[in-house]
Amino acid sequence: MNYLILKTIHLIAVVCWFAGLFYMGRLFIYHKEAEKKNDVEKKILQDQYRLMSNRLMYIITWPSTVVTSFFGFYMLYQNTILLKLDWMKVKLILVSFLLLYTITIQIFLKQLNKGNIRLSELGLRIWNEVATLLLISIISLAILKSSISWINAILTFIVIAIILMLLIRIYKILIKKPS
C-alpha cells in the first residue's frame, strides 16, 4: 500500500482516538457532576452518561486506537530507518504513555459502570488534560522532528501544562461563584 495512504489512514485514526479520549473525559466529569443532583435526575443523567461512555469507548476510542497503532507500526515496518531517529524514539515513548492513558480511561469506565469513579471532579478535569499534553507533544514531534531544541520543547511543554492547570483552577473558581 502507498505510504501516503497509510499515513492518511493513520492520521484520521489518530484524530478519532483523541476525539474519543477528550469526550470520554468530559463524560466522566458530567457523570461526577450528576452526583450533586436529586436522586431522579442523578439516575437519568448517570445512566445516559454510562451508555454514551460505553458506546464511545467501544465503537470509537478502542477501534481508532487499534487502527492508529496498526498503521503506525506498518509505516515503521515500511520505513525502518525512522526507528534510528531520536525524535521517533521519543514519539514512540509518548505513544506508549498514550496507550497507558487509554487503558487508564478504560479503568475509569469500569469504575463508572460499577457506579463509582474514584477520582474527584477536579482530579478528572486534571486527568483529562493529560491527553491534551500528549497530543501537543506527539504532534509537535511528528511535525517538527529534530528542528527544535529539546530544551525549548521541554520548557514549552511545562509552560503549557502550567497554563492548563491554571485554567482548570480559574474554571473551578468561576463555577463556584454565585450567579
Determine the 3-state secondary structure of 104 from DSSP: helix
Task: Report the alpha-carbon distance of residue 54 to residue 170 in Å, rounded.
Answer: 30
Q: Is 145 left (phi over 0), alpha (psi -120 to 50) or beta?
A: left
179, pLDDT greater than 80: no
Indicate the domain borders of the chain.
Answer: 3-176
Least confident of 15-29, 54-68, 115-129, 162-176: 162-176
Maximum CA pair distance of the chain? 59
Q: Kindly state the cell numbers that stand for 177.
A: 461563584
Cα distance from N-terminal residue to C-terminal residue, the chain: 58
Instruction: Using alpha carbons, list the distances in angstroms from residue 7 to 28, 64, 87.
Output: 31, 14, 17
How does the average pLDDT of the chain come out, rounded? 92
Predicted confidence at residue 177, as pLDDT, reads 64
Residue pLDDT, tens place only, 80-134: 999 999 899 999 999 999 999 999 999 999 999 998 889 998 899 999 999 999 9
Cβ atoms of residues 117 and 31 within 8 Å: yes
Task: Report the alpha-carbon distance of residue 66 to residue 117 in Å, rounded.
Answer: 25
- Angle 86-113/121-144 helices, nearest 10 degrees? 160
Cβ atoms of residues 82 and 88 within 8 Å: yes
DSSP state of 61: I
Task: Report the alpha-carbon distance of residue 137 to residue 52 in Å, rounded.
Answer: 28
For the entire predicted model, the pTM comes to 0.88
